[in-house]
Amino acid sequence: MTRREIWDTVYGAAAAAYEPREARAVAALVCEDRLGLRFTDVIVEPDAPCPLRDDLQRLAFEIGSYRPAQYIAGFCRFCGRKFSLEEGVLIPRPETEELVRTIVERHRSDSGLRILDIGTGSGCIAVTLAAELPDARVTAVDISDTALRIARRNAERHRQTVRFERRDILTGPPEGEFDLIVSNPPYVTESEKRQMSPNVLRYEPHRALFVPDDDPLLFYRAIAGLGRRLFAPGGTVYFEINERFGTQTVELLENEGYREIVLSKDFFGKPRTVSAQWK
């Protein structure tokens, strides 16, 4: 087969399941990470022969079945780094990259930061902060053994030291003292499921995504309460949030005694992150 024929096979499967722009991104990720074929190679030499892969049709079927490209490839990209990924571990989103960049910009000059990442998933936040703030000591917790296994693999991949712990923050909170807590906890309400795409609902871990309709701030309340016990004076919490509950999250933090609360919008202009300082 030629490079163009392989690209057309993969892109055709993606185009049947996704909007055109997303289909191109899905095809490019799968072609590069699973087939070793970059889109620039297709453009430059479309008729160049390419070894026929036995799994090409299976890959096309998986794409057409809405299986996320990141799970097919086994990787995702986050803040310029490549992270291992598999089903059972939440796929990092661009909005989370914004949160991490904000933390790095605000704390680059701080020395000896003690950072706690709650609900680490793939470890993308913890590993990136460890890399970008090399003087920091980073602890990351998650309830999922699968997530912790992948997170440890990613820390090793990027040669970063992160302490990982299995914790359910609702019943067994971590111990120690921290200067910074960051979390992208579950925040999508059950009633919002019907608005979500099949690739998310079929394949991504629901425990990392959804919260009850009657208690959408469940994890924010728990983490804010933890901060009162775990924070050193002046400690700061950073949250990614549901755009529907920005005001309520701010009010929750105010009621818990936090100050200097900042609600920020993402690149779509939607409320997406909150930061606050413990008194």
Provide the residue range defining the domain that includes 9: 3-73
Q: What is the pLDDT of residue 17?
A: 86
Distance, CA of 271 to CA of 279 (rounded, Å): 24
26/148 same-domain check = no
CA-based end-to-end distance of the chain: 64
CATH, residue 242: 3.40.50.150
| Model confidence at 255: pLDDT above 90 | yes
28/69 same-domain check = yes
* Six token digits for residue 52: 């026929």
Least confident piece of the model among 32-36, 111-115, 152-156 = 32-36
Contact 221, 257 (CB under 8 A): no
202/138 same-domain check = yes
125/252 same-domain check = yes
Quick one: pLDDT band at residue 50, thresholds 50, 70, 90? Answer: confident
Q: What is the pLDDT of residue 21?
A: 84
Give tens-digit pLDDT for 69-91.
999 999 999 999 999 999 999 99
Q: What is the pLDDT of residue 33?
A: 86
Residue 78 domain-assigned? Answer: no
Q: For residue 206, report the phi and psi dihedrals to the nearest 5 degrees.
A: -65, -30
- Mean local confidence (pLDDT), 29-36: 88
8/100 same-domain check = no
| Alpha helices (runs of H) in 158-204, residue ranges in sequence order | 198-203
Give tens-digit pLDDT for 175-233.
899 999 999 999 999 999 999 988 899 999 999 999 999 999 999 999 999 999 999 99
> What's the CA angle centered on 45, arms 80 and 41, to 5 degrees?
10
- Mean local confidence (pLDDT), 158-165: 98
pTM of the model: 0.91
Query: Higher confidence at residue 173 or residue 193?
Result: 193
Q: Amino acid letter at 171?
A: T
Question: Residue 127: how many CA atoms within 13 Å on its side-chain side?
Answer: 26
Distance, CA of 102 to CA of 11 (rounded, Å): 35
Task: Give the mean pLDDT of the chain.
Answer: 94
Q: What is the pLDDT of residue 225?
A: 95
Q: What is the pLDDT of residue 172?
A: 85
Residue 80 domain-assigned? Answer: no
Q: What is the pLDDT of residue 219?
A: 98
